[in-house]
C-alpha cells in the first residue's frame, strides 16, 4: 500500500502542473482584467493605466507571468555586486519603470516609459506557498482565503455528515424494502430533490421558515454585532440549519440512489444466497454480508467529497450570505481578484487529487481482497 501511495503521489505531479497551466490560461482568457476594473470605467489616462499594469505585474508576456506565479522571480535575476540591480547573468530580463525624485515613472521625449532591469524579485511562487497579494484587499491572498475557511468547513462538514448518513441509511432501507412503499417514496423524493436547484430550495426555505413562520434567521452565520467574531457553534445552530438542509439534500438524493442500486446488486450474488441457505438471520445477511460489499462503489464518491469540504458552495453561501470561501470566490471573480481565485482553484485541484487517492485507499480497507502490491 505504501508503494502504491508513493507512486500515485508521483503521478499527481504532472496532473498538478496541468491544472496550473489550464487554470492560468482560463484566467488570462477571461474578458476584462484587474486594470479595467480598477480604472473605474476608463477614467485613468493611458499613461496611468500602463503604470498600473507594471505595478500589478501583468505587463509581461503570459508565459513569463505564469512562470513568476508558479516558481517566483527571486531566482530569475542575478545581482552580482549587491547593489539591487540585475547587472549579472539574467535568466529572464524583467524590466520596470525608472522612477524620478517624486517616485513617479519617467518618460522620454516620445512619451514612452523609461525602463531598466528590475532588482532581484521577492516573489516565491505557489510551489513555495506564495500566492501573491490580493488586488482588492491589498493583503496576501492566503489570508483572504484562510479567514473564511472555518465558516466553509463548518457548513460543509455539517452538510456532508447529514447528507452521507441519511443518504446511505435511506438507500439501505430502500433496498431492504424493495418495491414497497418506502422504496417508491424514496425514489420519487430523490427525483424531486435533484430537480430543484439549490438556490430555489434555499429561497423557499427562507420564505417559509425565515419570513413566514419566523422560526429561523434569514441569513448570515451569527447575529451582526460590533464584534466580528461569532459565538461558539452551540449558541448559533439556528443559523446552520437551512444552509445545511440545502447542501445535504443533494447528498441524500444521490447517495440513497447509489446505495440502493449497489445493495440490490450485491444481494443477488451467490455468496448472499449461500449465507441465507446456512440459516443466517436476514438482518445479518443484509448488514454483515451485503452492506460492506455494497460500500465499495460508494467509496468512489466519498473520496472526492473532500473537494467540496474545502472549496465551499458558492450558490448556497451567496443565498444565505454565509461568509465562506465559495461566496468569496464569486466576489473575487466579479472583482477580477485573480490571486484569490487562483488559490481556491489550486487548493481545490489538490484536494480533488487527494480525494481520489483516498477512494483507492478506502477500497482496500472495505474489501480485503483488493491489494495494490
What whole-number percentage of the chain has pLDDT above 70?
A: 77
Residue 309 pLDDT > 70, yes or no?
Answer: no
Q: What's the pLDDT band for 105 if we cut at 50, 70, 90?
A: confident
Distance of alpha carbon 360 from alpha carbon 369, whole angstroms: 13
Q: How far apart are the first and last CA of the chain?
A: 6
Q: What is the pLDDT of residue 363?
A: 74
Distance of alpha carbon 261 from alpha carbon 255, whole angstroms: 10
DSSP state of 288: I
Q: What is the pLDDT of residue 242?
A: 92
Q: What phi, psi does 283 have (nearest 5°)?
A: -65, -40
CA angle 370/371/373 to nearest 5° reads 165
> Residues 209, 216: contact at Cβ < 8 Å?
yes
Q: What is the pLDDT of residue 241?
A: 92
Q: What is the CATH number assigned to the segment(s) 149-323?
A: 1.10.3720.10
How confident is the prediction for the chain on average, in pLDDT? 79
Q: What is the pLDDT of residue 206?
A: 92
Q: What is the pLDDT of residue 352?
A: 84
CA angle 47/36/138 to nearest 5° reads 95
Q: What's the pLDDT band for 295 if we cut at 50, 70, 90?
A: confident
> Residues 250, 167: contact at Cβ < 8 Å?
no
Q: What is the pLDDT of residue 8?
A: 82
Span 237-256, mean pLDDT?
90
The three cell numbers locating residue 82: 549587491
Note the pLDDT tens digit of each residue in 148-173: 888 888 888 899 899 889 998 999 88
Q: What is the pLDDT of residue 86?
A: 47
Residue 88 pLDDT > 60, yes or no?
Answer: no
Q: What is the pLDDT of residue 132?
A: 83
Cα-atom radius of gyration of the chain, to the nearest Å? 27
Residue 121 pLDDT > 70, yes or no?
Answer: no
**pTM for the whole thing?**
0.75
DSSP-derived 3-state class of residue 244: helix
Distance of alpha carbon 299 from alpha carbon 361, whole angstroms: 9
Bridge-partner residues for 113, per DSSP?
A: 107
Q: What's the pLDDT band for 92 if we cut at 50, 70, 90?
A: low
Note the pLDDT tens digit of each residue in 199-221: 889 999 999 998 888 888 888 88
CA distances from 113 to 34, 53, 86, 116 (A): 21, 12, 19, 10
Span 326-340, mean pLDDT?
84
Distance of alpha carbon 91 from alpha carbon 107, whole angstroms: 26
Residue 302 pLDDT > 60, yes or no?
Answer: yes
Amino acid at each position: 500500500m505504501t508503494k502504491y501511495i508513493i507512486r500515485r503521489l508521483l503521478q499527481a505531479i504532472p496532473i498538478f502542473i496541468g491544472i496550473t497551466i489550464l487554470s492560468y490560461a482560463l484566467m488570462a482568457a477571461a474578458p476584462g482584467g484587474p486594470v479595467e476594473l480598477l480604472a473605474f470605467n476608463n477614467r485613468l489616462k493611458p499613461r496611468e493605466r500602463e503604470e498600473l499594469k507594471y505595478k500589478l505585474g501583468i505587463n509581461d508576456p503570459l508565459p513569463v507571468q505564469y512562470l513568476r506565479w508558479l516558481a517566483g522571480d527571486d531566482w530569475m535575476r542575478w545581482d552580482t555586486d549587491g547593489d539591487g540591480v540585475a547587472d549579472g547573468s539574467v535568466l529572464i530580463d524583467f524590466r520596470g519603470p525608472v522612477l524620478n525624485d517624486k517616485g513617479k515613472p519617467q518618460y522620454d521625449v516620445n512619451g514612452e516609459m523609461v525602463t531598466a532591469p528590475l532588482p532581484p524579485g521577492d516573489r516565491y511562487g505557489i510551489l513555495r506557498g506564495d500566492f501573491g497579494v490580493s488586488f482588492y484587499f491589498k493583503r496576501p491572498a492566503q489570508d483572504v482565503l484562510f479567514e473564511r475557511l472555518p465558516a466553509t468547513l463548518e457548513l460543509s462538514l455539517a452538510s456532508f455528515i447529514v447528507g452521507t448518513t441519511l443518504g446511505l441509511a435511506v438507500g439501505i432501507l430502500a433496498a431492504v424494502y424493495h418495491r414497497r412503499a418506502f422504496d417508491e417514496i424514496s425514489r420519487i423524493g430523490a427525483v424531486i430533490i435533484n430537480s430543484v436547484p439549490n438556490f430555489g430550495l434555499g429561497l423557499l426555505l427562507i420564505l417559509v421558515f425565515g419570513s413566514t413562520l419566523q422560526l429561523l434567521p434569514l441569513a448570515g452565520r451569527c447575529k451582526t454585532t460590533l464584534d466580528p467574531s461569532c459565538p461558539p457553534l452551540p449558541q448559533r445552530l439556528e443559523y446552520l440549519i437551512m444552509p445545511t438542509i440545502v447542501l445535504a439534500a443533494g447528498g441524500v438524493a444521490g447517495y440513497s440512489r447509489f446505495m440502493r442500486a449497489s445493495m440490490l446488486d450485491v444481494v443477488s450474488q451467490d455468496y448472499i444466497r449461500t449465507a441465507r441457505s446456512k440459516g443466517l438471520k436476514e438482518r445479518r445477511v443484509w448488514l454483515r454480508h451485503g452492506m460492506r460489499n455494497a460500500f465499495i462503489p460508494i467509496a468512489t464518491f466519498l473520496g472526492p467529497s473532500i473537494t467540496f469540504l474545502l472549496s465551499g458552495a458558492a450558490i448556497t453561501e451567496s443565498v444565505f450570505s454565509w461568509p465562506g470561501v465559495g461566496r468569496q470566490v464569486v466576489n473575487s471573480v466579479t472583482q477580477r481578484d485573480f490571486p484569490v481565485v487562483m488559490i481556491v482553484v489550486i487548493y481545490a485541484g489538490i484536494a480533488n487529487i487527494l480525494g481520489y487517492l483516498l477512494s483507492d485507499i478506502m477500497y482496500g480497507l472495505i474489501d480485503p481482497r483488493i491489494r495494490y502490491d
